[in-house]
């Protein structure tokens, strides 16, 4: 975790269910410190009333945005304008754009062009253009199910996870090859970084594994090697295609 990275968290309140907020904010702290936390919506609408206590508990600042035109999402425009103001203020090192709406694709691209990290967070229905415009994209459903699993609430219900498809296997094997040395061994950290560059929504939790190493260990197509490092408690993990 990069503790000194300052992040602006901008949430599309019309597009994200309130039930995900606790897990979402915990996830964001893995990537930095959320110094700006704003959520956008028309708070005069009854369906947003359930957000009140959640916003207070998580110190998220609600931004009122009236829907001036029927059928148009004014929230998107308000978020985009605020994001650009924050960008030019030079107060943060990255953004967390929380939405399942593809309208933020251009914003994510612009922020990355400015050299800032962009983390996208949304539901699995999020269109691909927004996903690939981010450095990393996290599915809210995975965060919720992971928290329930830790709380012991899923004993009677099996978690739904994605399958390792031929395309995913190709992604893993090619990434190992691309990061490998002359002997075919690749440092797991480098492999993980490369996978995200190729597919920002890749997450080992989508496949039922908390970390990348256990995912690779579960697959017969790979060899794993744990190597000692001087003056360190932890071993370095390397992976090689069989």
Domains of the chain: 6-150 (3.40.50.1010), 166-241 (3.30.420.610)
Strands 236-241 and 186-187, bridge-based pairing: antiparallel
Angstrom distance (rounded) from CA 5 to CA 133: 20
Question: What is the pLDDT at residue 160?
Answer: 59
User: Helices (DSSP H) in 90-165: which residue ranges?
Assistant: 105-113, 128-132, 140-150
Phi-psi region of 86 (alpha: psi -120 to 50; beta: other; left: phi over 0): alpha
pLDDT at 145: 60
Alpha carbon distance 41, 48 (integer Å) = 8
Residues 6+ apart with CB under 8 A from 46: none
Looking at residue 73, its pLDDT comes to 58
| Pairing outcome for strands 222-227 and 236-241 | antiparallel
> How far does CA 87 lie from the centroid of its chain?
20
Which two structure tokens, joined as six digits, stand for 110? 């612009």
Whether 44 contacts 81, CB under 8 Å: no
Residue position matching structure tokens 């699995």:
124
**Which tokens belong to 211?**
């970390």
Question: Which residues of the chain are modeled with pLDDT < 50?
Answer: 1-2, 69-72, 150-159
């Amino acid at each position: 975790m990069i503790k000194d990275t300052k992040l602006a968290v901008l949430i599309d309140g019309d597009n994200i269910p309130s039930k995900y907020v606790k897990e979402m904010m915990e996830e964001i702290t893995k990537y930095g410190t959320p110094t700006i936390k704003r959520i956008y919506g028309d708070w005069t609408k009854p369906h947003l009333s359930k957000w009140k206590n959640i916003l207070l508990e998580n110190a998220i600042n609600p931004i009122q945005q009236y829907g001036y035109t029927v059928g148009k999402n004014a929230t998107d425009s308000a978020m985009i304008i605020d994001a650009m103001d924050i960008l030019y203020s030079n107060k943060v090192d990255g953004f967390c754009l929380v939405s399942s709406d593809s309208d933020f694709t251009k914003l994510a691209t612009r922020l990355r062009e400015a050299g800032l990290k962009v983390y996208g967070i949304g539901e699995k229905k999020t269109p691909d253009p927004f996903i690939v415009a981010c450095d990393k994209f996290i599915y809210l459903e995975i965060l919720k199910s992971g928290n329930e699993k830790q709380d012991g609430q899923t004993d009677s219900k099996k978690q739904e996870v994605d399958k390792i498809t031929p395309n995913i296997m190709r992604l893993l094997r090619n990434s190992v090859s691309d990061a490998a040395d002359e002997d075919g061994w690749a440092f797991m950290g480098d492999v993980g970084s490369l996978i995200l560059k190729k597919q920002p929504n890749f997450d080992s939790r989508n496949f039922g594994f908390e970390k990348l190493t256990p995912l690779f260990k579960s697959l017969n197509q790979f060899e794993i090697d744990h190597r000692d490092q001087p003056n360190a408690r932890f071993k370095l993990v390397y992976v090689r295609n069989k």
